[in-house]
Structures are given as structure tokens and as C-alpha cells.
Structure 1
């Protein structure tokens, strides 16, 4: 995409994380002439829930056009809510949770069948094996340094999403993802979004392990839409 018609990419991180997750993707998008905002959700406050998280993202969208809302993992719960509150041009899920209207975060795991995968995250090593299987030791250490406590006091509340937003939507599936495995995500994306996901190399944190692949795909989506 040329700098004559750049996008405003609004990047939403996953659960227990921060805008740091996007620090390798953001400069690659800026090199292509786009504007990038990586949002820090207010996840550490028990008083906040999905609506407040979405409000924080909406605040970053004010005054901007050519909006591309990107939600990674837990951020997939927030991205469509944001798209229902702003005039977005494109919604992109990156290994994202795809919510149904009114479905709570707590319900998602059972209604999608993810609970049946029996993925265990009881130890630091299990977290590494599931979330960071394709990261260098240096990136693994940095990722833990940037992790944040995520308060889930309101996890049982229905999503503020009342209907799927009427916005062009894409889904990026990561072939090496052990948390949202491809064989789990492909039918879920088809059922909930009516889409065939686009697949790239990388694990659950592909924005860290394959930032160029993520940036290239996001830039291509905007080029195809704007062109």
C-alpha cells in the first residue's frame, strides 16, 4: 500500500499482555506508510470488563479514518465490539477468539469446545510450550517481563456485542498455534464468521515470531480493500 492512502491500524493485544506484543509488527506497517496504534487495555482493574476495554480502544480511534481493527487472541473478544462503536473499514482476527453476540468470555471455552482440548497451563514451562513454542529464548524472557495480571472478575458477563458488525472481516490463522490449533480454529471460523481463514507460519504469538508475515498480510488486506 502506498503512503498516499494509508490505513490506521488499531492493534489489540491478548489476555494478560500489553501493546508490547506488537512491537515487531508496528514498525513494519509504518515502513509501508501506515499509522499504527497499539492499545494497552485496562485489564488489571477488577472494575473493568469487555465494555470498558472496548471504550479504551474507541478512545484511540477518535478522529481517525481508514480504520483497521485487529484483535489478537483475547483481543478478538474486543475487536468486534469496537467495530460496533466506530466506523471501521476492516476487522481482522489474528488467532483471535470469535465471540457470539451476548456470549460471555467464560462461556466461550465450553461453547466452542476448547475445554475438550485439555490444554494445560499450570506451569511456566507449559506456558512456553503452548504460547511460545516458536520464540527465541530472548523473546520468551521479554514476553514474561511484559506480562500483566489480568483481572477476570467480570468474565461471566454477557458480551456487549449485540450482533456481528457489518464490516469486511478477515481471519489470520497460525499454522503452529498450540493454544488455538488449526484443526480447532478452521471449523470455528467457518461456523461463526462464514470465512475460510488465511494461514501463515507461526505459533500463537506470531506477531513476535513472524512479524513480517503478519505485517505483510495486514498490508495486503488494506491494499485489496482500498484498491
Structure 2
């Protein structure tokens, strides 16, 4: 696979801390790519733009031609973060893509048809409250040693203000790659594929694994990111 250049910024979702990217950061470093992680402050801002400012403040001043990758609900802050960092590419890691054309917040979309976006058994579940739930929904693709490591990175992050915010930046303003895990037990495969096509203008790239697939397969994920 061809190798790109520049730094990669990794933005965690609402059920795993930035430590969840450590295996991926190491795999990227082994391929000659610098990856920087950020910590989203739980309930720390009132809008995606405000979160973008908080994340940008954590990054080195010499950030080079960045690609920004976000996981899960952090997809809602990805366009604002990419704009703030003057990123050249966005990567959606099983991530939510806001309905910019429809002007709907995530909550608006969920109220209309929650099971179009999420698997029914995921609705109302908090995987940070029970390692069994975290294993079943997030890390069911991991071997035992990887699972033990993964569970130590589980952490909640409140992005409720962004869930209620109508998107102000078109997520299709930059080129995007959408990595769609085919065994995801949170977001439905159909919704992710449709969001990639209709909201980003790209065909998703299917990868094996569950919702936090990058933890179980950091090498494969790094290969795909290094092509950008």
C-alpha cells in the first residue's frame, strides 16, 4: 500500500479514552508517521466549534499537513476540528456523520428513527458501566490479551451539547475516508454506508471487526491511514 505523509490526529469517542489509541499510535510510528492524540473534555464545551478549539490547544505547534481521524460520536466534532487544524483529509472510524443537508442534530435524527442508525440492543446501553457490556459491544473482535488491555481504556465522555447541535459545517467540505467495521454492534452497517455515500460523497471501506476495531487491529488500521 502506498504511503502518504504528514501527521495524523486521533480523536477518541464517548466510551474510550485517548489511551485506546496507543497501539495504533505505535503502529503508525513504526511506519514513519507521527500520530497525536487529544483528550476530549467531558461536557467541556457547548458546541463542536468550542470543542475544536480545546482540542487544537493540545496539539504541537509544528503539526504538519494533518489528517484528522475521529471515532464514533466524535465524528460530530470532526468537521470543526479538521477546519480548525487546516486538515487536508478526514477519516471516520465507525463515526457519526451529521446531517448537514437536512439541518438535523443527532438527537433530531434519533427521534425520527433510532434503529435506522443504531442496533436496537445498543439503545440505552452504557458500556462504561459494565465490562461485560464493553466487551460485547466494543471489543468482541479482540483476543483475550487485547481485551484485557482494551477494558482498561474504557471511559465515558459527555458530548450531549453536540448531540443537540444542528451541524454548521458541511462534513463533505474536505475529502473523507470512512472505515466501516462489518461486525459493529452499535451503529448499523446500513446507516454507516448511507452516511458515507450521501453525507460525505464517498464509498465506505469495509474492515473486519467491531465498533472499536482499531484496538483489535492496529496494524491493519495503520496501513489504511498511512495511505492517506
Both proteins in one fold, TM over 0.5? yes
Unaligned 5+ segments in structure 2 are: none
Equivalent of 1:191, from 194, 198, 202? 198
Matched with 2:22 is: 23
When the two chains are superposed, the root-mean-square deviation of aligned CA atoms in Å is: 2.6
Cα pair 2:182 2:207 within 8 Å, conserved: yes
Q: How many residues align?
A: 218
Provide the rounded CA distance (Å) in 1 between the counterparts of 2:160 and 2:133: 24
- Alpha-carbon distance change, 116 to 169 in structure 1, aligned in 2, over 3 angstroms: closer
Contact 1:10-1:70 within 8 A present in 2 as well: yes
**How big is the shift at 1:156?**
5.1
Given the superposition, is the C-alpha separation of residues 62 and 75 from structure 1 closer, same or farther in structure 2, using an over 3 Å criterion? farther
Query: Equivalents in 1 of 2:167, 2:195: separation in Å?
Result: 21
- The answer to whether 1:204 aligns with 2:218 is no
Residues of 1 paired with 2:204 and 2:160: CA distance? 32
TM-score normalized by the length of structure 1: 0.82
Which residue of structure 1 lines up, in the alignment, with residue 120 of structure 2?
A: 118
Pair 1:52-2:50 in alignment: yes
SS in 2 for 1:24: helix
| Matches of 2:191 and 2:165, distance apart in 1 | 23
**TM-score, normalisation: structure 2:** 0.82
- Segments of structure 1 that go 5 or more residues without pairing to the other structure are 223-227
